[in-house]
């Protein structure tokens, strides 16, 4: 068997990137699911009084779903654009969530959950920004960063 077909072992930073990519993929799929549910409920409950329309919920779920899935693909392929796009998208997504809270939250319960939501936002952004700015992970996204000869875990 030629050396061309040998599998390369993933470095620890590459494994962390793949773990983050799975989280980003899960967010993308969850948002696509949200879009699908909004479309389904729009058909079942067209006259339900709401502070935001079903069309808006479906469009935003579809948009964020596709964007997160694109970022996950970039991360899984260790593309430099995947790193910076994920940083931008994660931040904009959380900003969008908070704009929605300010504009559309109408119940007392929604107001009561804001401290928890703020904590989850901070933890999510700290994880994404911390992970993608970790020096070992940054090397993965540089040209030659996936090459075994330039890996921090191999001598030489």
Percent of the chain with pLDDT strictly greater than 70 = 88
Q: How far apart are CA 27 and CA 60, in angstroms?
A: 13
Residue pair 103/73 in contact (Cβ under 8 Å)? The answer is no
pLDDT at 106: 87
What confidence score (pLDDT) does residue 7 get?
72
pLDDT band at 8 (very low <50, low <70, confident <90, very high): confident
Average per-residue pLDDT for the chain: 90
How high is the pLDDT of residue 3?
56
* Whether the Cβ atoms of residue 25 and residue 69 lie closer than 8 Å to each other: yes
- Residue 69, pLDDT above cutoff 90: yes
Do 152 and 136 touch, CB atoms closer than 8 A?
A: yes
pLDDT band with cut points at 50, 70 and 90 for residue 147: low
pTM: 0.85
Judge contact between 75 and 83, C-beta under 8 A: yes
pLDDT mean over 57-66? 98
- Place 156 in a pLDDT band, splitting at 50, 70 and 90: very low
Burial letters 132-141, b for 16+ CB under 10 A, else e = beeebbebbb
């Amino acid at each position: 068997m030629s050396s061309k077909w040998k599998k390369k072992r993933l470095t620890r930073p590459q494994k962390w990137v793949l773990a983050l990519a799975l989280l980003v993929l899960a967010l993308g799929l969850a948002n696509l699911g949200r879009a699908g549910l909004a479309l389904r409920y729009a058909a079942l409950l067209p006259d339900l009084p709401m502070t935001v329309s079903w069309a808006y919920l479906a469009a935003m779920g579809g948009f964020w779903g596709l964007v997160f899935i694109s970022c996950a693909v970039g991360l899984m392929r260790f593309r430099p654009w995947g790193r910076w796009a994920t940083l931008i998208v994660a931040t904009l997504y959380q900003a969008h969530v908070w704009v929605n809270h300010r504009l559309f939250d109408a119940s007392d319960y929604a107001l009561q959950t804001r401290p928890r939501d703020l904590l989850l936002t901070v933890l999510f952004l700290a994880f994404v920004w911390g992970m993608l700015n970790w020096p070992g992970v940054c090397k993965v996204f540089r040209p030659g960063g996936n090459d075994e000869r330039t890996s921090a875990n191999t001598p030489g």
